[in-house]
Amino acid sequence: MSVRDETSRSAAERSSAAGDLSRVDASSAIASRPDVGAASASAPKSSPPIRGGSVAAALAPWLAPQERFDALRATALASGGARFCDLAYANAWGGPLPEVREVLRRAATSTGDLDLQYTPYGGAVVPRRFAAQALARRTGLPFKHDHVLLTPGAMSALTLLIRALPAGGNVVIPVPTWLDHPLYVATDGREPRLVPLREEDFGLDLEALARAIDEDTRALILTCPGNPTGRLFDADELRALAELLDRAPSAPLLISDECHRDYVRDPFVSPVTSYARTAVVYSYGKRFLTQGQRLGYAAISPRHPEAAALVADLRRLARAHGHGTPTALMQQALPELKALAPDVASVLARKERTRARLEAAGLVVRGDATMFLYVKVDDDWAATEALAKRGVLVLPAAIFHHRGWIRLTASAREDMLDRGLEHVIAVARGDA
């Protein structure tokens, strides 16, 4: 069955998604909690959702590191020229597999009258069914298409989930984490409550999390596996987290950001298998190395006691915010794409070769999962600035609400990695 076979359902689906969205904006600040940790103590507290001219002042703490890094990107491009080395972003410099390109060509040249036209808010039924079936196989849970909202990438899924939470309150975020998790929370007028992971192994600090979670905690966002750390949380650790959340007075939603779960050697365990109130966020762009095509989803656990209502709210918010529907092209391609195996082996092989070279140079490296390596340095901004002047781009830990490390990606071409690593080793060791 193709996506166009479901077009006749569009009107009914959109009708069911229509309706009044009643939301009460957060209006009261949350008291400071110095016991949570240094990262949390300096975080801005909750306030009304950001509007108009208030953007610069309210979001400055969360925007500043990325904007500082953007200036360094320009420096690296100018310094590197044709020998520029991008070890920062997960862009696949060699492009996706030829089979992926061919699927996209077929989808783009499909001759169905409505193949490339409007689809329902949250995606058409057929691609949602494919996503649900894959999740069911992976987790053993009875996911159906009604549990899945397709989005234009994981970022849209995250912002919609945060917006769908009960008004106000705080969202607990173990850090280091993906750069924009706190930004999305702050933009929605909530307090991003940052809780450091254990520094020695980047595991969950359950005692610190227990201190951070209170009656106003609406959600906890966990990058799983960890980004930038590459930490693969095991079943015991996730069960302990689930027990902690089950005891929480506010029944928080666990948002599991699983964008990089395909890039693992050891078995991946999703928090959705341990905690009923879990929402899974995923990116097909990462899976097939086509990040710019923006296809992802938010999936609500079938064991969530309010799953149907939450998915309905997400579909309404997709309409209300104007960014919750992925392109028809990617939806059309998804059934065929799902039949392809992602190019995990070559990415992880490059990563392991990179890790071996860094460790042979005496550097401390973390990153059991994902396509990233986290490398310890004396000063992450100083190292990033020095490398930019050499034409090499890496991401400083400050981007991820942490300090003292830099993140490298193995998605670059082999020649780019080789050139860049010479400079990374020299700067990290202080050789030049």
282-286 average pLDDT score: 93
Omega into 176 within 30° of 0, i.e. cis?
A: yes
Confidence grade of residue 204 (pLDDT, cut at 50, 70, 90):
very high
Give the range among 42-46, 291-295, 350-354 with minimum mean pLDDT. 42-46
- Amino acid 324: pLDDT: 82
Greater pLDDT, 9 or 74: 74
Q: What's the chain's average pLDDT?
A: 89
pLDDT, average across residues 143-158: 97
In this prediction the pTM is 0.88
pLDDT band for 39, please (50, 70, 90 cuts): very low
Assign 205 a pLDDT band (cuts: 50, 70, 90): very high
Angle at 207 between CA 201 and CA 211, to 5 degrees: 130
According to CATH, the topology of domain 63-96+344-429 is Aspartate Aminotransferase, domain 1 (3.90.1150)
Return the percentage of the chain with pLDDT > 90, whole number.
Answer: 78
* Least confident stretch, 33-37, 240-244, 281-285, 311-315: 33-37
pLDDT exceeds 50 at position 422: yes
Mean of pLDDT values over 70-85: 95
335 C-beta neighbours (distance < 10 Å), count = 17
Average the pLDDT over 96-110 and give the result: 94
Across 11-15, 70-74, 87-91, 115-119, least confident range:
11-15
Res. 217: pLDDT tops 80: yes
Per-residue pLDDT at 338 = 87
Residue 48's pLDDT band (cuts 50, 70, 90): low
Indicate if the pLDDT at residue 384 is higher than 60: yes
- How much of the chain exceeds pLDDT 70, in percent? 87
Residue 238, pLDDT score = 98
- Domain borders along the chain are 3-60+103-337, 63-96+344-429
Which CATH code for domain 3-60+103-337? Answer: 3.40.640.10
State mean pLDDT over 345-371: 96
Predicted confidence at residue 56, as pLDDT, reads: 64
Q: Quick one: pLDDT at residue 36?
A: 38
Q: Hey, which of 101-115, 332-346, 377-391 has the most confident mean pLDDT?
A: 377-391
Instruction: pLDDT band for 43, please (50, 70, 90 cuts).
Output: low
Q: Residue 152: is its pLDDT beyond 70? A: yes
Is the pLDDT assigned to residue 120 strictly greater than 80?
A: yes
26 — pLDDT class (breaks 50, 70, 90): very low
**Residue 366: pLDDT over 50:** yes
Averaged pLDDT for residues 360-388 = 97
Mean pLDDT computed over 130-138: 96
Average pLDDT over residues 184-202: 96
Rounded to an integer, the average pLDDT of 308-325 is 93
